[in-house]
């Protein structure tokens, strides 16, 4: 397996282009199952999760083409995918594919909405807590699907199609809201989703579905109303910028010092996280190109942060913030409220000399003067990149093992950091 070796201590200076959002691209690709026409997605990041989802969709019979690179396009320019689910041959999503990526479970919604049946393996994905699918299944039941679980598979039936209904989520869920949006778009009648997730990726999916002919109001608020239509058509849609990638590189600059423009992204996608960075001592400015983050010699201040659904501080930036706070001048408190067991990076950060105490869902991070490089292990997607951030500031060499987690979610990481002066090298297995 590949490893990444980082020699820390160099400030970052330059421009980092931000890719299309993984967490938007995945549901958008899945939405291609809702129509027999072609869905064209622009600015899709080149990531292992995208490749895996193409295989899963291919297994259902979805054809895809990737538009060739045009002259002048760099490595970081997203790809254009054309997806056609005209001839769906199989409504089963098998265990060996779904168990590798949790989001692929969401195919259940378009399959049952358009074909009246779906058989989808229970998901796997990042090892962060139990991550059940009960809320997704309840939402489908509210739209008239009959659900049974057999042999590790969820089987959903709606032989006469789905019917609009009222879905009130007991907890804010991104996956549940994506599933409800897709299913309700083809249901007969009106659906009201209460306590809907407000994440920008939900708005992006709703915008794309609307271009495909869906009738959706209120996306981005906690109540979404969908008037179902009998069929959806093709569309072209550009994937929104990745706010988690944006926040990750912003934290990398905050930890090393320097001056970097994160190009092609927007502050409103992650305002709470940018406010935290400013509180910690980085200067954050919106520019015509994107977001400029800089920090001079002044030290980092500690912060108190709780993860929350959007517009709160994202759980997907919790590990990165913790890496930053390991070298702050004082003690930070970081509370994780979205996922249990999302502190697996703590033990690895400790190997670099971080001082972190865990108390249930609270991490108390006592800033130290310096981290020292060491071999560490990537455990999940966001944890892995927190080790990159720590490695960028640690003295000496940090080797990150099991980097396939990074390849799932961060496009061209070494190239993007390397062009800003970081000493980052991939050692191929
Ligand atoms: C998505 C993101 C992930 C992010 C998370 C929270 C994608 C591909 N992944 O994950 O990166 O960390 O949102 O912002 O977009 N829950 C249940 N029952 C359910 C569904 C969820 O109890 O049926 C719980 C989960 O265990 C978790 C919480 O609800 O504690 C939020 O989960 P959810 O918002 O659904 O996260 P995902 O969509 O899986």
Ligand 1 atom having least distance to the Cα of 197: 34
Ligand 1 atom having least distance to the Cα of 133: 23
Determine the average pLDDT of the residues in 273-292. Answer: 98
Q: Is residue 54's pLDDT more than 70? A: yes
Instruction: Identify whether the C-beta of residue 263 lies closer than 8 Å to the C-beta of residue 289.
Output: yes
| Residue-level pLDDT at 75 | 59
Q: How far is the CA of 338 from the centre of ligand 1 (A)?
A: 8
- For the ranges 60-74, 158-172, 311-325, the lowest mean pLDDT is seen at 60-74
Q: Is residue 128's pLDDT more than 50? A: no
Q: How far is the CA of 15 from the centre of ligand 1 (A)?
A: 32
Confidence of residue 123 (pLDDT cuts 50, 70, 90): confident
Mutate to test the pocket of ligand 1, among 175, 181, 312 (most ligand atoms within 8 A of CB): 175
Confidence of residue 78 (pLDDT cuts 50, 70, 90): confident
Mutate to test the pocket of ligand 1, among 52, 98, 131 (most ligand atoms within 8 A of CB): 131
Q: Classify strands 215-217 and 223-227 as parallel, antiparallel or unpaired.
A: antiparallel
Percent of the chain with pLDDT over 90: 86
Confidence of residue 74 (pLDDT cuts 50, 70, 90): low
The C-alpha atoms of residue 257 and residue 279 are separated, in whole angstroms, by 15
The predicted model scores a pTM of 0.96
Q: Is residue 259's pLDDT more than 50? A: yes
| Residue-level pLDDT at 228 | 98
Q: How far is the CA of 122 from the centre of ligand 1 (A)?
A: 15
Determine the average pLDDT of the residues in 122-148. Answer: 81
Mutate to test the pocket of ligand 1, among 338, 380, 385, 409 (most ligand atoms within 8 A of CB): 338
25, 85, 126, 139: the active-site residue? 126
Q: Is residue 69's pLDDT more than 90? A: no
Ligand 1 atom having least distance to the Cα of 171: 29
Determine the average pLDDT of the residues in 157-166. Answer: 97
Q: Is residue 250's pLDDT more than 90? A: yes
The C-alpha atoms of residue 302 and residue 93 are separated, in whole angstroms, by 46
Q: Is residue 233's pLDDT more than 50? A: yes
Q: How far is the CA of 24 from the centre of ligand 1 (A)?
A: 14
Confidence of residue 125 (pLDDT cuts 50, 70, 90): very low
Is residue 208 annotated as a catalytic residue, yes or no? Answer: no
Q: ∠ CA(108), CA(237), CA(203), 5° rounding?
A: 65
The C-alpha atoms of residue 409 and residue 47 are separated, in whole angstroms, by 6
Q: Evaluate the CA torsion angle 266, 270, 276, 280 in order and state its sign.
A: negative
Q: Is residue 70's pLDDT more than 90? A: no
Give me the half-sphere count of Cα atoms (radius 13 Å) on the Cβ side of residue 291.
29
Q: How far is the CA of 175 from the centre of ligand 1 (A)?
A: 6
Ligand 1 atom having least distance to the Cα of 201: 15
Question: Atom 39, ligand 1: which residue's CA is nearest?
Answer: 175
Ligand 1 atom having least distance to the Cα of 173: 34
Q: Is residue 198's pLDDT more than 60? A: yes
| Residue-level pLDDT at 73 | 59
CA distances from 31 to 38, 274, 275 (A): 11, 31, 33
The C-alpha atoms of residue 134 and residue 405 are separated, in whole angstroms, by 26
Q: Which residues pair with 225 in a beta bridge?
A: 192, 217
Average pLDDT over the chain, rounded to an integer: 94
Q: Is residue 55's pLDDT more than 70? A: yes
Instruction: Identify whether the C-beta of residue 122 lies closer than 8 Å to the C-beta of residue 151.
Output: no
The C-alpha atoms of residue 24 and residue 149 are separated, in whole angstroms, by 28
Mutate to test the pocket of ligand 1, among 173, 310, 314, 380 (most ligand atoms within 8 A of CB): 173
Q: How far is the CA of 393 from the centre of ligand 1 (A)?
A: 31
The string of pLDDT tens digits covering residues 330-387 is 999 999 999 987 899 999 999 999 999 999 999 999 999 999 999 999 888 888 999 9
Pocket around ligand 1: residues whose beta carbon is below 6 Å from it?
23, 26, 102-103, 129, 131-136, 171, 173-176, 315-316, 338-339
Q: Provide CB contacts within 8 A for 425, sequence distance 6+.
A: 4, 5, 6, 414
The string of pLDDT tens digits covering residues 3-47 is 999 999 999 999 999 999 999 999 999 999 999 999 999 999 999
Question: Atom 5, ligand 1: which residue's CA is nearest?
Answer: 174
| Residue-level pLDDT at 76 | 61
Ligand 1 atom having least distance to the Cα of 129: 26
Determine the average pLDDT of the residues in 64-78. Answer: 70
The string of pLDDT tens digits covering residues 313-345 is 999 999 999 999 999 999 999 999 999 878 999
- Give the residue among 300, 394, 411, 414 at the shortest CA–CA distance from 348: 394
Q: How far is the CA of 173 from the centre of ligand 1 (A)?
A: 5
């Amino acid at each position: 397996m590949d490893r990444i070796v980082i020699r820390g201590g160099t400030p970052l200076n330059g421009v980092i282009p931000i890719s299309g959002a993984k967490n938007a691209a995945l549901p958008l690709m899945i939405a291609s199952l809702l129509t027999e026409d072609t869905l064209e997605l622009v600015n899709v990041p080149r990531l292992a999760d995208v490749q895996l989802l193409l295989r899963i969709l291919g297994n259902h019979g979805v054809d895809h083409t990737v538009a060739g690179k045009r002259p002048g396009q760099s490595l970081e320019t997203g790809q254009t995918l054309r997806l056609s689910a005209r001839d769906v041959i199989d409504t089963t999503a098998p265990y060996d594919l779904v168990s590798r990526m949790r989001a692929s479970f969401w195919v259940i919604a378009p399959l049952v909405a358009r074909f009246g049946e779906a058989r989808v393996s229970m998901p796997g994905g990042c090892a962060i807590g139990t991550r059940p699918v009960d809320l997704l299944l309840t939402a489908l039941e509210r739209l008239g699907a009959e659900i049974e679980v057999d042999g590790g598979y969820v089987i959903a039936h709606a032989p006469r199609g789905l019917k609009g209904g009222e879905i009130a989520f007991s907890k804010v869920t991104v996956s549940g809201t994506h599933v409800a949006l897709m299913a309700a778009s083809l249901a007969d009648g009106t659906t009201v989703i209460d306590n809907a997730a407000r994440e920008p990726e939900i708005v992006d999916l709703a915008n794309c579905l609307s271009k495909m002919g869906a009738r959706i109001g209120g996306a981005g608020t906690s109540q979404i109303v969908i008037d179902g239509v009998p069929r959806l058509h093709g569309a072209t849609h550009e994937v929104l910028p990745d706010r988690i990638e944006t926040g990750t590189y912003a934290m990398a600059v905050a930890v090393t010092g320097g001056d970097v423009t994160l190009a092609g992204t927007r502050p409103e996608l992650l305002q709470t996280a940018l406010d935290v960075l400013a509180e910690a001592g980085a200067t954050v400015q919106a520019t015509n190109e994107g977001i400029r983050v800089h920090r001079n010699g002044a030290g980092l201040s500690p912060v108190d942060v709780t993860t929350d659904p959007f517009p709160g501080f994202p759980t997907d930036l919790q590990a990165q913030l913790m890496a930053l706070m390991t070298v702050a001048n004082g003690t930070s408190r970081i509370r994780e409220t979205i996922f249990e067991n999302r502190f697996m990076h703590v033990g690895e950060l400790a190997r670099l000399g971080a001082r972190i105490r865990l108390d249930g869902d609270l991490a108390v991070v006592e800033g130290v003067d310096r981290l020292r490089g060491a071999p560490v292990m990537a455990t999940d997607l966001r944890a892995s990149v927190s080790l990159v951030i720590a490695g960028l500031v640690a003295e000496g060499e940090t080797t990150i093992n099991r980097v396939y987690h990074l390849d799932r979610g961060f496009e061209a990481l070494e190239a993007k950091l390397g062009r800003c002066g970081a000493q980052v090298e991939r050692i191929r297995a």
